[in-house]
Each structure stands twice: as structure tokens, then as C-alpha cells.
């Protein structure tokens, strides 16, 4: 039976042999994770025998990783959605507490006006001292962490794909 190869990944032994197996043992630090059967006879990956896959297993491994990443992405999107909902609720509350148009002011009596002014003055002091600064710091820290993750992912992607792009040119 003739097996059709989808991947054109060669063994690192330099003999132009297509790989037959790949080691998926995360803790194994070999120079060649993808190897031909000739290299397998050296028993370099003997301790990894339960983590060794063929081409189909390698493809399945990356499909499983892709599915996990989709779940992570969905979780991140849910977190972002909750953050946006929280900011929207905070915005509504701020407007409701502190924005008074002429119609709203006309509905107040003298005592209500005094109480609302006192609350607004107190809130402005608290807001300027705490909430605004805390929100700015939180947002700044989150953006810094996001940018660090993005930069790190870009470096890793470029490290892997840059040599391939050079070969394609």
C-alpha cells in the first residue's frame, strides 16, 4: 500500500529522508524531534516511546492544539466582554449620579439640591483621588501585559516562519 505524504518535513540527519516519526515529549530536549526510521534505531527517543507519533499523529496533535487555542480565544473574548460590560455599567452610573440637565434640576427641591451637591462634591474628591487613577493604572497595566504577550508571540512566530519565508523567495 502506498502512503501519500502530506508533509514534506525531512529528518535532521541530512540524508534527505522524510521524517517517519516525531517526538511530542515536551521535556525531551533533542536536536531532532522529527526523524527517520534509520535515526530511530539509535534509540535516542526510547524514553519517549509513548509520545512518538507518525505524520497523522502530528497533524492530529496540531489540530488538537488549534481547538484548545479556539477555547482560549473564546475565554479571552468572554473576559473582554465582561470588562466592557463593567465599564459600560460604570459609565451609566457616573452619568446617572453626576449629570443633571435643566429638567432634572427643576424636579429638585432645595434640600434635594443641597444633598446632591454634597454627594457630587464628595464623589468628585473620591473619584479624582481613587477611581480614575485606579482605572487608568489598571488599563495601562493591562495594555502593557497584552503588548508584551503580542510581542512575544510575534517573536516566536517570526523565529519559526522567517527561515521558511526566505526559502520561498
In tens, the pLDDT along 100-120 reads 778 888 888 888 888 888 888
The Cα–Cα gap between 130 and 157 comes to 40
* Residue ranges per structural domain of the chain: 7-53, 55-122
The Cα–Cα gap between 140 and 136 comes to 6
CB 22 within 8 A of CB 52: yes
Only one residue has cell 516519526, namely 21
- Retrieve residue 75's grid coordinates: 475565554
The Cα–Cα gap between 121 and 114 comes to 11
The Cα–Cα gap between 123 and 93 comes to 12
Q: What is the pLDDT of residue 43?
A: 60
Please write the tens of the pLDDT for every residue from 54-88.
Answer: 888 888 888 998 999 999 999 999 999 999 999 89
The Cα–Cα gap between 86 and 29 comes to 45
The most confident of the ranges 12-21, 26-35, 94-103 is 94-103
Output the CA torsion sign for 79, 81, 82, 88. positive
Amino acid at each position: 500500500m502506498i502512503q501519500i505524504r502530506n508533509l514534506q518535513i525531512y529528518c535532521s540527519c541530512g540524508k534527505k529522508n522524510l521524517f517517519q516519526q516525531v517526538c511530542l515529549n515536551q521535556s525531551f530536549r533533542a536536536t531532532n524531534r522529527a526523524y527517520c526510521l534509520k535515526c530511530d534505531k539509535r534509540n535516542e527517543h526510547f524514553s519517549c516511546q509513548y509520545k512518538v507519533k507518525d505524520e497523522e499523529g502530528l497533524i492530529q496533535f496540531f489540530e488538537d492544539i488549534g481547538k484548545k487555542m479556539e477555547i482560549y480565544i473564546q475565554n479571552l473574548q468572554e473576559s473582554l466582554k465582561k470588562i466592557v460590560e463593567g465599564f459600560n455599567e460604570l459609565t451609566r452610573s457616573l452619568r446617572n449620579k453626576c449629570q443633571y440637565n435643566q429638567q432634572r434640576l427643576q424636579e429638585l427641591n432645595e434640600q434635594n439640591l443641597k444633598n446632591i451637591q454634597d454627594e457630587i462634591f464628595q464623589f468628585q474628591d473620591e473619584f479624582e483621588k481613587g477611581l480614575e487613577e485606579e482605572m487608568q493604572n489598571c488599563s495601562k497595566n493591562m495594555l502593557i501585559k497584552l503588548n508584551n504577550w503580542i510581542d512575544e508571540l510575534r517573536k516566536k512566530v517570526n523565529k519559526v516562519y522567517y527561515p521558511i519565508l526566505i526559502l520561498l523567495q
